[in-house]
Structure 1
Amino acid sequence: MLIINLIQKNTAFLKKLFAVILYVIPACICISCTPAPEASTGFLYEYGVFLNLSPETAGYEAKLANYHTVVIDAQYFSKEEIKGLKDKDHIVYSYLNIGSIENFRNYFNEYKSLILSNYENWDEEYWINVSDPVWKDFITDRLAPSLLEKGVDGLFIDNVDIYYQYRSEKIYNSVTDILKRLKSKSPNIIINGGDTFISRYIDEKKQPADILSGINQETVFTAIDFEKGSFKPADIETQEYFTDYLKKARKQNIDIFLLEYTNDDKLRDEIKHYCDINGYLYYISSSIELN
């Protein structure tokens, strides 16, 4: 308050000093958080991704308490538990994996015949044939409705990157079909990753609003060393590619979210500053487990 009062006296020097302070000092003081601009929602942070959090996690409600928009795996939450979160004014998105299948899902045995290949670095996961009508109908007519019926506000779609792994017209058209069908069921669709698919979709002058409302891009400024089980800064080429891609997406009126992994305070501050000046929301996790 002292600095603000001095500025109000129209002292030019102090105005410049305050601008420098705003640039240098981060507004976020915790390890994994996104500050809410002006605290307009009443929450301390605007966005958090908690895919490995469940009602069995001790104190799970307290872990979510400070976050306005939260991404959870609603398959493991009841309708009443999700209502409890919404009653506390959380906006709740549910994880939905359309491009791969995990062996711990209760529907794994029913669809494992559609597996295409192993998923690198994730032993429990496999790329799946999204062009198969059986899988498409399962995702859009059974799985997604079962999540939406629980009262979630939107869907957080993972593994659109199946098109990066299998770059064929059949896969591209099938992903497009799935996303359009999902968007018809929920206006709020955040796609996690999927830059190869989304870039092509935009380049073809199609309407992104037909398939999504937002993009969550992982590891723009950070990288995961799976062999060492640690984090590191992303290389410059990766950073430039993704920042250019996100600018391109933003011009299409797509909401942008970043999900980063680091324990480095300096890098965390750089990510925060980048998101603040571009109007993006972000979540920085100190754990790949997202719990």
Structure 2
Amino acid sequence: MNGFICLRGRPREGTGMSARYLGGSDVRCGGNALSHLLRAVTAGAFFTYALLCLIAFGACAEASPKRSALRHVQRWMILLDYNAALELEVRQSGAYDLVILDADNHPPLDIFPPETVKIAYVSVGEAESYRGYWEKIKTEAFVLDENENWKENYYVDVRSAEWSAVLLRKVIPEVLQQGFDGIFMDTLDTAGLLEWRDSGKYAGSRTAMVRLVLEIHKMYPELLLISNNGYDILPEIAPVLSGILVEDLFSGIDFENGGYRAVSEADRKERVDILLRLGGGGKIPVFTVDYADIHNRGQIREIREKSKKLGFRPYLAQGSLSAVYEQDDLP
């Protein structure tokens, strides 16, 4: 696998928010570190964590209808860069089983049926300067350098108890107060990236990220948790996940040359092997987001069929996640 993969945004001109993209291996957070980390996870560890995941997920499914509903999602949407002009389009697009929306900038939640699973985007490995917490934390020691690939996104030291408190005591309670059922955890890869770059300075960061996810589940056991990528820690957090989302499994945006590019078979195989071990057989629902030219009917059909054949739930988009891509209208 080519490297760490991060869901990110490109600053939208004239605003503090970001137009979000699910960037693939062309938008690397650093080197080929992920392959090295994955080799450290033995087959025995995969089996153990997959078994724990099955037990934990089954127990929670009985207690939470929404968690159980995730296993039966067919029609879903991800919209991370919302503006009011999109509200009518969202209303007219019909009922969804699942919607993933920005925690602060989203359509009114009451336009969705009560049974729709509503998930809020939360960056757990980086702080965003356009969030409500920023003014209080921007000078804190745990806020590190700005991500060189993504404006207004700052690395954080996830070993910090203060950063954990921001998420546990402010961000997540605000998500729940709005009526969301869970969170979509982005930037899970950041901790491992920092430790890979400087193993002395950031020793224990990857373990701290695992601990943070487990602490979120412990404090909010009914909160649905959907991961974004985070391949290097998936086996350890799988027991508390309600869903797994991965990006660019087949096709992604080519940021260097424009247009789209196919994901190599080697990269895809490594990712699919992990996903099938953890989520295969319906243990944890796996959602895929691929970017392609939606007018290329043959390619769109091929991507959807391949994802579904693996037992995954595909979503196809073109460009950014600032539009409603009606999947029923795609070929």
SS of residue in 2 equivalent to 1:240: helix
C-alpha distance in structure 2 between counterparts of 1:105 and 1:230, whole Å: 31
SS of residue in 1 equivalent to 2:112: helix
Match of 2:168 among 134, 140, 163: 140
Match of 1:117 in 2: 145
Match of 2:267 in 1: 238
C-alpha distance in structure 2 between counterparts of 1:57 and 1:251, whole Å: 35
**Deviation for aligned residue 1:181:** 2.5
Give the conservation status (yes or no) of the 8 Å contact 2:95–2:112: no
User: Given the superposition, is the C-alpha separation of residues 223 and 182 from structure 1 closer, same or farther in structure 2, using an over 3 Å criterion?
Assistant: same
**Deviation for aligned residue 1:96:** 0.8
Flag structure 1 segments of 5+ consecutive residues without an equivalent: 1-39, 202-206
Q: Does 1:92 align with 2:121?
A: no
Q: Structure 2 length as normaliser, TM-score?
A: 0.65
SS of residue in 1 equivalent to 2:120: strand
What residue identity is the alignment partner of 1:250?
A: G
Which protein, 1 or 2, shows the higher relative CO under an 8 Å CA cutoff with sep ≥ 6? 2
Match of 1:181 in 2: 215
User: Given the superposition, is the C-alpha separation of residues 96 and 241 from structure 1 closer, same or farther in structure 2, using an over 3 Å criterion?
Assistant: same
Match of 2:289 in 1: 259
Match of 1:33 in 2: none
Q: Structure 1 length as normaliser, TM-score?
A: 0.73
Question: What pairs up with 1:90-239 in 2 under 5 angstroms?
Answer: 90-113=116-139, 114-167=142-195, 170-184=204-218, 185=220, 186-199=222-235, 201=236, 208-210=238-240, 212-239=241-268
C-alpha distance in structure 1 between counterparts of 2:289 and 2:267, whole Å: 15
**Deviation for aligned residue 1:66:** 4.5
**Deviation for aligned residue 1:64:** 5.0
User: Given the superposition, is the C-alpha separation of residues 149 and 64 from structure 1 closer, same or farther in structure 2, using an over 3 Å criterion?
Assistant: farther
Identity of paired residues, percent? 21
Give the conservation status (yes or no) of the 8 Å contact 2:292–2:318: yes
**Deviation for aligned residue 1:228:** 3.5
C-alpha distance in structure 1 between counterparts of 2:127 and 2:314, whole Å: 26
**Deviation for aligned residue 1:120:** 4.1
* Count of aligned pairs: 241
Match of 1:287 among 319, 326, 331: 319
Point out the more displaced range, 128-137 or 99-108: 99-108
Deviations 1:260-281 (A, max 9, x none): 1111433322221122222211
Deviations 1:70-113 (A, max 9, x none): 100132358xx2233244x4221111111112222222232233
C-alpha distance in structure 1 between counterparts of 2:322 and 2:278, whole Å: 25
**Deviation for aligned residue 1:58:** 4.7
Deviations 1:124-156 (A, max 9, x none): 222211111111011012101110121112111
